[in-house]
């Protein structure tokens, strides 16, 4: 099989491969770029694997006039920038020691050894400069079937890095066949070694959950996580049942991972996933809206169009009641609205606490009236 695309034919990329080849070294496309090309998905990053060591890659790149950055030198990775395009060039490797979080690697000249240390068979695909796919482990069949399967022994792959448990579910959500379900051996191994996730930093878990919840439809994967006891480990108290209805309600609306997180619930989510202050603030607003009675327009006014949209959809999913037909235009109207009364309008008749209370009462009246009352009408009320 051959793959093709601008990512493969880019002059800078081909020049880099040619420079390594002229020096007697093999350079192959690897991982996500090959996987996505096989699946007909956009290729976002161009990664290369080579039998050249990082020092040799750096020397060859600099002699060719390219910019080499030692982004992960000890682990074999050099970022080579050619014509403005970055390429992660990594030496063939094998793991010599792992602790469930990170690996000590030894450089290799064997593509099979390099493939054997990868997480999933669909990530162990390589391609040469002409796009011919090289498949040392049978990953092409899995990829074409959209089957996410661990390389070799699933338990060993997981024990090398317990974050692979979450990656397994994320990859199924992004690349798997939704009708086929998750690989049974992989799922069983993830459940058996889920305690290993306790050794992974909250930052890494949060980053992986963001990617999972940002997939087109993460509901089947999250449901499988819940059944395997993994969701409760990373998000204690979470309930996945409103996620599938939310995805259905979203239809043509762009997915937002925080919206999906809001309907999952859970305790101490901000800490569990290391949310930023802005993310934590928006999550609090969404959770408040789910349990509140604000109209779509009021939600748009309080939180803006994006969070207002999230709030309407999340509440509908959790409560099991569809939103009104005009909810999107109402959220937009609310987001653009301005409360027409100011403190100056009420002074000097109201001062201090009385002024604040009067403004709050008029605001409640305005919201209850659908954000339609004008300044004069409110002042007369």
Please give the chain's pLDDT, 381 residues, in tens.
999 999 999 999 999 999 999 999 999 999 999 999 999 999 999 999 999 999 999 999 999 999 999 988 888 999 999 988 999 999 998 876 665 566 667 888 899 999 999 999 999 999 999 999 999 999 999 999 999 999 999 999 999 999 999 999 999 999 999 999 999 999 999 999 999 999 999 999 999 999 999 999 999 999 999 999 999 999 999 999 999 999 999 988 999 999 999 999 999 999 999 999 999 999 998 999 888 889 999 999 998 999 999 999 999 999 999 999 999 999 999 999 999 999 999 998 899 999 999 999 999 999 999 999 999 999 988
Distance CA 363, CA 90 (A): 60
Are the C-beta atoms of residues 91 and 4 closer than 8 Å to each other?
no
Q: pLDDT at position 100, please?
A: 57
Q: pLDDT at position 94, please?
A: 84
Q: Which residues contact 264 (CB under 8 A, 6 or more apart)?
A: 222, 231, 235, 238, 239, 240, 242, 243
Q: pLDDT at position 98, please?
A: 65
Backbone angles phi, psi at 267, to 5 degrees: -110, 145
Exposed / middle / buried, residue 28 (Cβ in 10 Å: 0-12, 13-18, 19+): buried
Dihedral sign, CA of 233, 238, 240, 243?
negative
Are the C-beta atoms of residues 147 and 183 closer than 8 Å to each other?
yes
Closest residue by Cα to residue 94 from 120, 72, 113:
113
Closest residue by Cα to residue 47 from 18, 11, 8:
8
Distance CA 44, CA 23 (A): 28
Backbone angles phi, psi at 65, to 5 degrees: 90, 15
Q: pLDDT at position 158, please?
A: 96
Closest residue by Cα to residue 223 from 250, 251, 242:
242
């Amino acid at each position: 099989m051959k793959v093709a695309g601008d990512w493969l034919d880019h002059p800078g990329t081909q020049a880099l491969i040619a420079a390594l080849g002229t020096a007697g070294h093999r350079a192959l496309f690897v991982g996500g770029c090959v996987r996505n090309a096989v699946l007909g998905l956009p290729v976002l990053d161009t990664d290369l694997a080579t039998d050249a060591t990082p020092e040799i890659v750096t020397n060859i790149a600099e002699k060719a006039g390219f910019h080499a950055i030692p982004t992960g030198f000890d682990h074999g990775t050099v970022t080579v920038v050619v014509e403005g395009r970055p390429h992660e060039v990594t030496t063939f490797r094998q793991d010599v020691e792992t602790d469930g979080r990170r690996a000590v690697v030894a450089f290799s000249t064997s593509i099979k050894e390099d493939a054997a240390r990868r997480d999933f068979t669909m990530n162990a695909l390589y391609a040469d400069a002409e796009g011919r796919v090289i498949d040392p482990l049978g990953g092409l069949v899995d990829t074409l079937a959209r089957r996410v399967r661990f390389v070799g022994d699933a338990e060993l792959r997981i024990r090398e890095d317990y974050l692979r448990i979450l990656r397994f579910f994320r990859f199924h959500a992004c690349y798997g066949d939704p009708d086929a379900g998750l690989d049974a051996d992989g799922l069983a191994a993830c459940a058996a070694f889920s305690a290993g996730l306790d050794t992974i930093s909250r930052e890494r878990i949060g980053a992986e959950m963001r990617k999972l919840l940002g997939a087109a439809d993460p509901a089947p994967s999250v449901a499988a996580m819940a059944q395997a006891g993994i969701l409760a480990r990373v998000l204690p108290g979470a309930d996945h049942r409103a996620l599938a209805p939310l995805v259905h309600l979203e239809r043509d609306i762009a997915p937002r991972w925080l919206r999906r997180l809001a309907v999952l619930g859970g305790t101490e989510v901000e800490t569990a996933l290391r949310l930023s202050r802005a993310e934590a603030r928006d999550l609090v607003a969404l959770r408040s809206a789910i349990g509140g009675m604000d109209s779509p327009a009021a939600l748009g006014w309080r939180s803006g169009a994006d969070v207002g949209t999230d709030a309407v959809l999340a509440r509908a999913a959790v409560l099991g009641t569809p939103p009104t037909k005009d909810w999107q235009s109402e959220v937009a109207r609310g987001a653009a609205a301005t409360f027409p009364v100011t403190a100056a309008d009420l002074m000097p008749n109201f001062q201090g606490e009385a002024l604040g209370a009067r403004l709050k009462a008029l605001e409640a009246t305005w919201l209850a009236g659908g954000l339609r009352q004008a300044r004069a009408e409110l002042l007369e009320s």
